[in-house]
Amino acid sequence: MRTGEAIGFALTSIDACMRCLTFSPDGKYLAAGSHDTSVVGIWDLETLAPTPVVIDNQFSTRCIAFSPDMTRLVLAGWQRIRFWDPRGGRELSSTSLACDLDWVNSISFSPDGQFLASGSSDPVIRIWEATSELEPATEAP
Protein backbone atom coordinates (compact mmCIF):
# COMPACT_ATOMS: atom_id res chain seq x y z
CA MET A 1 0.00 0.00 0.00
CA ARG A 2 2.41 2.67 -1.16
CA THR A 3 -0.24 5.21 -2.06
CA GLY A 4 -2.32 4.90 1.09
CA GLU A 5 -5.34 3.82 -0.96
CA ALA A 6 -7.50 0.88 0.05
CA ILE A 7 -6.43 -2.38 -1.57
CA GLY A 8 -9.90 -3.30 -2.67
CA PHE A 9 -11.69 -5.27 0.02
CA ALA A 10 -13.42 -4.78 3.32
CA LEU A 11 -13.99 -7.30 6.08
CA THR A 12 -17.44 -7.36 7.61
CA SER A 13 -19.45 -9.60 9.88
CA ILE A 14 -19.53 -8.05 13.34
CA ASP A 15 -22.30 -5.49 13.56
CA ALA A 16 -20.43 -3.16 15.91
CA CYS A 17 -18.01 -0.25 16.18
CA MET A 18 -14.47 -1.66 16.00
CA ARG A 19 -12.29 -0.37 18.85
CA CYS A 20 -9.09 -2.33 18.32
CA LEU A 21 -7.38 -4.50 15.70
CA THR A 22 -4.35 -6.75 15.66
CA PHE A 23 -2.68 -8.99 13.09
CA SER A 24 -1.50 -12.45 14.15
CA PRO A 25 2.31 -12.79 14.26
CA ASP A 26 2.23 -14.97 11.12
CA GLY A 27 0.09 -12.40 9.28
CA LYS A 28 -2.65 -14.92 8.45
CA TYR A 29 -5.37 -13.60 10.80
CA LEU A 30 -6.85 -10.31 11.92
CA ALA A 31 -8.67 -10.02 15.24
CA ALA A 32 -11.06 -7.15 16.01
CA GLY A 33 -12.56 -6.10 19.30
CA SER A 34 -15.72 -4.04 19.49
CA HIS A 35 -16.61 -1.09 21.66
CA ASP A 36 -20.36 -1.41 21.77
CA THR A 37 -20.72 -5.21 21.97
CA SER A 38 -18.75 -7.90 23.72
CA VAL A 39 -17.97 -9.80 20.51
CA VAL A 40 -14.44 -10.28 19.19
CA GLY A 41 -14.10 -11.55 15.63
CA ILE A 42 -11.17 -13.24 13.91
CA TRP A 43 -10.77 -13.19 10.12
CA ASP A 44 -8.71 -15.52 7.95
CA LEU A 45 -6.82 -13.14 5.65
CA GLU A 46 -6.18 -15.78 3.00
CA THR A 47 -9.89 -16.36 2.41
CA LEU A 48 -11.06 -12.94 3.75
CA ALA A 49 -13.76 -14.83 5.63
CA PRO A 50 -14.52 -14.71 9.33
CA THR A 51 -13.25 -17.79 11.13
CA PRO A 52 -15.74 -19.92 13.02
CA VAL A 53 -14.26 -18.44 16.22
CA VAL A 54 -16.31 -15.60 17.69
CA ILE A 55 -15.41 -14.75 21.26
CA ASP A 56 -18.03 -13.42 23.66
CA ASN A 57 -15.80 -11.33 25.91
CA GLN A 58 -18.66 -10.15 28.17
CA PHE A 59 -17.40 -6.56 28.16
CA SER A 60 -16.30 -3.87 25.75
CA THR A 61 -12.82 -4.68 24.43
CA ARG A 62 -10.42 -1.75 24.61
CA CYS A 63 -7.28 -3.52 23.39
CA ILE A 64 -6.27 -6.89 21.96
CA ALA A 65 -3.03 -8.81 21.26
CA PHE A 66 -1.94 -12.21 19.96
CA SER A 67 0.84 -13.98 21.84
CA PRO A 68 3.96 -14.47 19.68
CA ASP A 69 3.31 -18.23 19.49
CA MET A 70 -0.39 -17.59 18.63
CA THR A 71 -1.67 -19.85 21.42
CA ARG A 72 -3.31 -16.95 23.28
CA LEU A 73 -5.34 -13.90 22.37
CA VAL A 74 -5.40 -11.33 25.14
CA LEU A 75 -8.40 -9.00 25.47
CA ALA A 76 -8.48 -6.12 27.93
CA GLY A 77 -11.01 -3.55 29.00
CA TRP A 78 -12.60 -2.46 32.26
CA GLN A 79 -10.18 -3.56 35.06
CA ARG A 80 -9.77 -6.97 33.47
CA ILE A 81 -7.40 -8.90 31.22
CA ARG A 82 -8.62 -12.14 29.67
CA PHE A 83 -6.68 -14.86 27.88
CA TRP A 84 -8.50 -16.75 25.12
CA ASP A 85 -7.65 -19.62 22.79
CA PRO A 86 -7.84 -17.91 19.37
CA ARG A 87 -8.41 -21.19 17.55
CA GLY A 88 -11.11 -22.68 19.78
CA GLY A 89 -12.67 -19.56 21.27
CA ARG A 90 -12.58 -20.77 24.86
CA GLU A 91 -11.47 -18.62 27.76
CA LEU A 92 -8.17 -19.75 29.26
CA SER A 93 -8.15 -17.38 32.23
CA SER A 94 -9.39 -14.04 33.47
CA THR A 95 -7.70 -11.64 35.87
CA SER A 96 -9.27 -8.69 37.63
CA LEU A 97 -6.79 -5.89 38.04
CA ALA A 98 -7.48 -4.06 41.28
CA CYS A 99 -4.41 -1.88 40.73
CA ASP A 100 -5.73 -0.36 37.49
CA LEU A 101 -8.02 2.61 38.03
CA ASP A 102 -10.46 1.78 35.27
CA TRP A 103 -9.87 0.93 31.59
CA VAL A 104 -6.86 -1.00 30.37
CA ASN A 105 -6.14 1.08 27.24
CA SER A 106 -3.19 -0.74 25.72
CA ILE A 107 -1.59 -4.15 25.94
CA SER A 108 1.41 -5.84 24.31
CA PHE A 109 3.35 -9.08 24.60
CA SER A 110 7.13 -9.16 24.81
CA PRO A 111 8.71 -10.78 21.72
CA ASP A 112 9.32 -14.03 23.64
CA GLY A 113 5.76 -14.11 25.03
CA GLN A 114 6.97 -14.27 28.65
CA PHE A 115 5.72 -10.80 29.63
CA LEU A 116 2.69 -8.64 29.01
CA ALA A 117 2.75 -4.84 29.34
CA SER A 118 -0.45 -2.94 30.12
CA GLY A 119 -1.24 0.75 30.16
CA SER A 120 -4.34 2.21 31.76
CA SER A 121 -5.87 5.53 32.70
CA ASP A 122 -3.48 6.00 35.60
CA PRO A 123 0.07 7.14 34.67
CA VAL A 124 1.63 3.69 35.22
CA ILE A 125 2.82 1.04 32.79
CA ARG A 126 2.60 -2.40 34.34
CA ILE A 127 4.62 -5.41 33.24
CA TRP A 128 3.19 -8.82 34.05
CA GLU A 129 4.49 -12.34 33.84
CA ALA A 130 2.24 -13.67 31.06
CA THR A 131 0.87 -16.64 32.98
CA SER A 132 -2.74 -17.45 33.69
CA GLU A 133 -2.49 -15.67 37.06
CA LEU A 134 -0.76 -12.50 35.75
CA GLU A 135 1.73 -11.85 38.51
CA PRO A 136 3.24 -8.33 38.49
CA ALA A 137 6.82 -8.47 37.23
CA THR A 138 7.76 -4.80 37.37
CA GLU A 139 6.13 -1.45 37.93
CA ALA A 140 7.56 1.64 36.26
CA PRO A 141 8.17 4.63 38.58
Domains in the chain with CATH codes: 18-139 (2.130.10.10)
State what percent of residues in the chain have pLDDT above 70. Answer: 67
| Res 86 pLDDT > 90 | no
Cβ neighbours around 108 below 10 Å, total: 15
Q: What pTM value is reported for the model?
A: 0.78
List the Cα angle 21/58/80 in 5-degree steps. Answer: 75
**Where are the alpha helices (H) located in 21-140, listed in sequence order?**
none
Confidence of residue 113 (pLDDT cuts 50, 70, 90): very high
pLDDT tens string 28-69: 988 888 776 667 788 888 887 776 566 665 677 888 999 999
Which residues have a Cβ under 8 Å from the Cβ of 131 and sit 6 or more positions away?
A: none
CA distance 120 to 100: 6
Q: What are the two backbone dihedrals, phi and then psi, of residue 7, each rounded to the nearest 5 degrees?
A: -90, 10
